[in-house]
Chains A and B, each alone.
Chain A
């Protein structure tokens, strides 16, 4: 459905590219300065662009009544929501991962750090979509709920932000990053197991 309405996934992606490209203008175009903060810039912008796309995850289905049909379906609601979340990741997380090498180069990240950045994005952007789906389920049906969504979701994103940026920064100094990657993998596994069920409960409660 999003492919038929490209603005729903192109807008967050454009925000990601534009926001990152503004940092060298605002801070400093020097390679040393930018490479030091590149991981933080990419990751914070990535989170905000995912957040930007979350509002539409259930909003339109709620408005046109399709969500009701999903909830009363004899199929497992968590499984339906997992499918929707995976589709959301394909249209937001995956393009961000594919664009990250270019933006990493623009921020003067070395090749190894770019690989690590891509790896952290690959491990953690699905978690962003899964955790975001919980927030999106809670606010479904509430008008102008963008701020509420941020308040609900961003605190849950903070561990991901810390481990992901720490992995990229440490790789710039050739330090081991196994610990951070294990944590990101654990968050992904826990999100994958828990988030669809929590989203389903939240969605049913929101529709009451």
Chain B
């Protein structure tokens, strides 16, 4: 069982207060979509949840472990706007590095994870030679390996085709069925069952 608790979170960027006293709880199996206009603070909220940015005030914890602690950071898997791939490394090296940085101790081989996102035989393809959609698929293939309980996905469907979106939606659903939590931002329509929405 996992529980993400956000209490009275306030975020200010420059002179703009993006949100204040934001509180919510997510239990195992729940998926939360954060929606809002451009600049409303969706990415800022995800970065705060990931421990990348700090909030003006408020508390957040996963299973009573506060943000920044070893257990909290082990429990999260965050994918931001940027590809998180080094152009000098090939897909296998990039995923291996990503897996080492994150809590990815799955038995699933990197080649199998890549096959799952439709990139069979792409292990030794350098990131610099890949399209934006293929790069996104490679990073998202880490979702098939991670053991993290809480997924924080910032615009995961960007640059993906319909097939790619379907694969990732299925994986998010599987994660939710396995008792995981997912928080995502997207401007696209989601076909995820039982998804909650938080509007900023």
Are both chains from one complex? yes
Query: Is the beta-carbon distance between B81 and A72 smaller than 8 angstroms?
Result: no
Query: Is the beta-carbon distance between B84 and A68 smaller than 8 angstroms?
Result: yes
| Interface 1/0 per residue, A165-208 and B, CB below 8 Å | 00000000000000000000000000000000000000000011
Q: What is the distance, in angstroms, from A106's C-beta to the closest C-beta of chain B?
A: 34
Given A65, A74, A207, which contacts B81 in the complex, CB threshold below 8 Å? Answer: A65
Which of B95-103, B156-164, B173-181, B190-198 forms part of the interface with chain A? B95-103
Query: Is the beta-carbon distance between B53 and A66 smaller than 8 angstroms?
Result: no
> How would you classify the secondary structure of chain B's contact residues: helix, strand, loop or mixed?
loop
Query: Is the beta-carbon distance between B80 and A68 smaller than 8 angstroms?
Result: yes
Q: Does B83 contact A (CB under 8 A)?
A: yes
Query: Is the beta-carbon distance between A69 and B102 smaller than 8 angstroms?
Result: yes
Q: Which residues of B contact A61 (CB under 8 A)?
A: 86
Q: Does B185 contact A (CB under 8 A)?
A: no
Residue of A nearest to B84 (CB): A65
Distance of A66 Cα from B71 Cα, bound (Å): 21
Question: What is the interface size of chain B, counting residues whose CB is below 8 A from a CB of the partner?
Answer: 27
Q: Which residues of A contact B27 (CB under 8 A)?
A: none
> How would you classify the secondary structure of chain A's contact residues: helix, strand, loop or mixed?
helix
For window 68-91 of A, CB contacts with B under 8 Å fall at 68-75, 80
Contacts A72-B78, A75-B101 hold; do A64 and B86 have CB atoms under 8 A apart? yes
Q: Which residues of B contact A143 (CB under 8 A)?
A: none
Residue of A nearest to B82 (CB): A65
Q: Which residues of B contact A26 (CB under 8 A)?
A: none
Q: Which residues of B contact A74 (CB under 8 A)?
A: 70-71, 73-74, 102-103
Q: What is the distance, in angstroms, from A207's C-beta to the closest C-beta of chain B?
A: 6
Given B53, B80, B97, B102, which contacts A65 in the complex, CB threshold below 8 Å? Answer: B80
Q: Does B51 contact A (CB under 8 A)?
A: yes
Residue of B nearest to A2 (CB): B88
Q: Does A28 contact B (CB under 8 A)?
A: no
Given B85, B88, B101, which contacts A73 in the complex, CB threshold below 8 Å? Answer: B101
Residue of A nearest to B53 (CB): A208
Query: Is the beta-carbon distance between B52 and A71 smaller than 8 angstroms?
Result: yes
Question: Nearest 5 CB-CB pairs, A to B?
Answer: A65-B82, A4-B88, A74-B73, A74-B74, A65-B84
Chain A residues engaging chain B, CB cutoff 8 angstroms: 1, 4-5, 60-61, 63-66, 68-75, 80, 207-208
Not counting A64-B85, A68-B82, A69-B78, a sample of 15 additional A-B residue pairs whose C-beta atoms are within 8 angstroms of each other reads A1-B89, A4-B88, A63-B82, A64-B86, A65-B81, A65-B84, A65-B85, A66-B86, A68-B50, A71-B52, A72-B50, A72-B51, A74-B103, A75-B100, A207-B52
